[in-house]
Structure 1
């Protein structure tokens, strides 16, 4: 039997007191005052019904029994008024018990139904939550499958393009070598021809890697190392024209310590060039871009910062996923490939806020030796 009624209050003792009070009024009210006795007799049903509703069958029967006991002294008023009158008053006790029984049974049944519906509601809620989770997982799986299919198609297309690019690359390299012979050492244009040759070699190496992966025969091969300051100078020459077109203020910091760092030239050049070009696209006309080299513990890092719109915190992981881009003509693959390259070298690529507004991309790498980079197996 519940210990509390509506409002969390223990009403049972109050109902018992009401039964006792009605019984005393019955007993001390003179027998000839029939109106008062009839009123008290009907009033007795209230604590019985309330007890049955609030406390079930047990509560109804207990209060009906107490009401019957409280009603017995009242019967002495009718003991000498004939058998029919006495039995009429005695029948009231049976009605009290019947009322407690019937209302208690109905209340218990209603309570069981309510508990059953509550459990069913909780079960449905859990089922809905599980269905919602499974639906979310299914949608995520469909998205991943679609991305995988696009990546597969892109891989096949990349292999075809790589194969077609090799012949023009050979022609470009041959032409650059002719130009190199035309400009002796010390000529102001010789530096640009050397950059052209190095970038052609880097592009050819990238094409070889794509072909190697497409044939399923990648082989470990260490990339050539180059002092970081020399690599950064080469990249500065490559982006000089787009920097000049947007009148971007490009500054470098910490290059004095970059001379002592030998880095994998081709993969790191690809990463940093991608970050610089993204920064140029992000900054407004006359914007600012800075590149900083810092040592940190057992490694070092390169920070590329710009005063563009920055990257929202909710998008800082999305930008490293396939096909996610904010550019109208972007592929959504540059940052994904850049992160994969940095991770293959044992480092990390992350993005954060630039003090004063904008974004800063941080390439963190360990000291040498670097892990081997996979390139095409030579037959």
Structure 2
């Protein structure tokens, strides 16, 4: 009885967390749209000042105008991130191989010369997932891993069957994540990066949970970071569900004439 009560409490907390994130996404999207318009006016005005300064050089004007344009660029980047965070589409699950997704990630990722990429992707079962959403989540993790190794290191992708799931681990040999930082890993708008938005891991978690999967951080003895993604193994039920979602919906009832 005690275990069932604890499980119910955990489920309630998880539901509340997802509801808070959904509300946050709606608020972020609404606020971002409201800010973008006046920000565009500021940006256009700054560009006009810049053109004016080019025709009539003024040292007292060049610096402030350049600063305005730089800060507008940063603000626009933040707004774009908030809008993308708020604009989640329902997943379109299809049978897919995790090795195919990893290959797509590596094909689009900019890997520095001092970072070595290793892949251990044995013949694991296919998963039922939206490959584009999983690719986006995996790209976030890989990019974080690369940024954690400015002096170089090893970025690894490993896959294995674990029960009814395929586990995909992303490892790096960076300094790791402190226990204090681990407490806030997946919380939105919290970041230790100078130019970060604090939405990467939150977005990755939402994308993976969209696939009925999970993502978690694993402690790694000796440093480095390991993020583990679990995705459900493809089954007859998930194949049937994917086909139904991919099939265009037919019309029901009579079509009505427009005005």
Contact 2:127-2:232 within 8 A present in 1 as well: no
Contact 1:287-1:308 within 8 A present in 2 as well: yes
User: 1:315: how far off?
Assistant: 2.3
2:158 matched to 1:288?
Answer: no
2:122 matched to 1:256?
Answer: yes
The 5-angstrom pairing of residues 197-208 of structure 1 reads none
2:217 matched to 1:351?
Answer: yes
SS of residue matched to 2:160: strand
The 5-angstrom pairing of residues 217-296 of structure 1 reads 222-239=92-109, 242-243=110-111, 245-253=112-120, 255-258=121-124, 260-261=126-127, 263-296=129-162
SS of residue matched to 2:166: strand
Specify every segment of 5 or more residues in structure 1 that has no aligned partner in the other structure, as ranges.
1-144, 162-205
Structure 2 distance, partners of 1:150, 1:261, is 30
2:195 paired residue number: 329
2:178 matched to 1:312?
Answer: yes
Which has the higher Rg, Structure 1 or Structure 2? 1
Structure 2 distance, partners of 1:148, 1:366, is 23
Structure 2 distance, partners of 1:322, 1:283, is 23
Q: 1:157 to 1:223 in 2, by over 3 A?
A: farther
Q: 1:339 to 1:260 in 2, by over 3 A?
A: closer
Q: Which 4+ residue blocks in structure 1 deviate beyond 4 angstroms?
A: 147-153, 157-161, 258-262
**Higher share of residues assigned helix:** 1
SS of residue matched to 2:168: strand
Q: 1:224 to 1:262 in 2, by over 3 A?
A: closer
Contact 2:93-2:131 within 8 A present in 1 as well: yes
User: 1:314: how far off?
Assistant: 2.7
User: 1:349: how far off?
Assistant: 0.8
SS of residue matched to 2:161: strand
Q: Deviations over 1:297-326 (max 9, x none)?
A: 111110001111111123223010010111
SS of residue matched to 2:198: coil
User: 1:266: how far off?
Assistant: 1.0
RMSD: 3.6
SS of residue matched to 2:158: strand
The 5-angstrom pairing of residues 1-379 of structure 1 reads 151-156=25-30, 210=87, 222-239=92-109, 242-243=110-111, 245-253=112-120, 255-258=121-124, 260-261=126-127, 263-368=129-234, 369=238
2:63 paired residue number: none
User: 1:353: how far off?
Assistant: 2.1
Specify every segment of 5 or more residues in structure 2 that has no aligned partner in the other structure, as ranges.
1-19, 36-82, 250-259
Structure 2 distance, partners of 1:346, 1:148, is 17
Q: Deviations over 1:51-74 (max 9, x none)?
A: xxxxxxxxxxxxxxxxxxxxxxxx
Contact 2:154-2:173 within 8 A present in 1 as well: yes
Structure 2 distance, partners of 1:262, 1:221, is 10
Structure 1 distance, partners of 2:151, 2:133, is 30
User: 1:226: how far off?
Assistant: 3.0
Q: Which has the higher contact order (CA 8 A, sep 6+)?
A: 2
